[in-house]
Amino acid sequence: MDRRWEASVEAQIRSAQERGEFDNLPGAGKPIPGRGLPYDESWWIKSFLEREQVPTDLLLPTPLLLRRRIERLPEEVRDLPTEQAVRACVADLNAEVMAWLRHPSGPRVVVRPVDTDAVVRRWRADRAAAVPPAAADRPSVPRRRAWFPLRRLTRRAAGLLG
């Protein structure tokens, strides 16, 4: 019975080869990746993360992930349009920190809530540095005179009508 099954499978493979279904497969003619390396039990998860381009930050334990978000907070809020948006972003992060502090899991890493006012001060300073100088600081360009003297025309029209 096993031989009949093997023969059936071999026949299907042979007919697929004849139809050209195995031609131009990705990686054809290239060596098998990792063939000369020692066996790694987690090879499949590593290849999945690489193939799907999953950020490795998602694999960090919660306290390390929170610390990384706190470190990146100035870049995250830099482009926010209003102070209320900055405060809301910091409040969301602080809520996550407080939730973790209530029920810590993972490695014991010091994580503290972020000072909202300090983040807002830095956001304001970054915005002030990014704003171009005021129009008063720029050299003024002389105004062009109007081609047609409208003021004189309106006075004449007023004199004719009145």
Q: For residue 15, what is the DSSP state?
A: H
Asked if residue 162 is part of any domain, the answer here is no
pLDDT at 84 over 70: yes
Domain that holds residue 65: 56-130
For the whole model, what pTM was predicted?
0.55
Asked if residue 42 is part of any domain, the answer here is no
Asked if residue 89 is part of any domain, the answer here is yes
pLDDT at 1: 53
Q: CB atoms < 10 A from the CB of 105, how many? A: 8
Per-residue pLDDT tens over the stretch 11-53 = 999 999 899 988 888 888 888 877 888 888 988 888 888 899 9
- Diameter of the chain by CA atoms? 118
Asked if residue 99 is part of any domain, the answer here is yes
Burial class (CB within 10 angstroms; exposed 0-12, middle 13-18, buried 19+) of 18: exposed
Asked if residue 22 is part of any domain, the answer here is no
127 phi, psi to nearest 5 deg: -70, -40
Asked if residue 5 is part of any domain, the answer here is no
72 compared with 133, residue with greater pLDDT:
72
pLDDT at 63: 93
- The domain total for the chain is 1
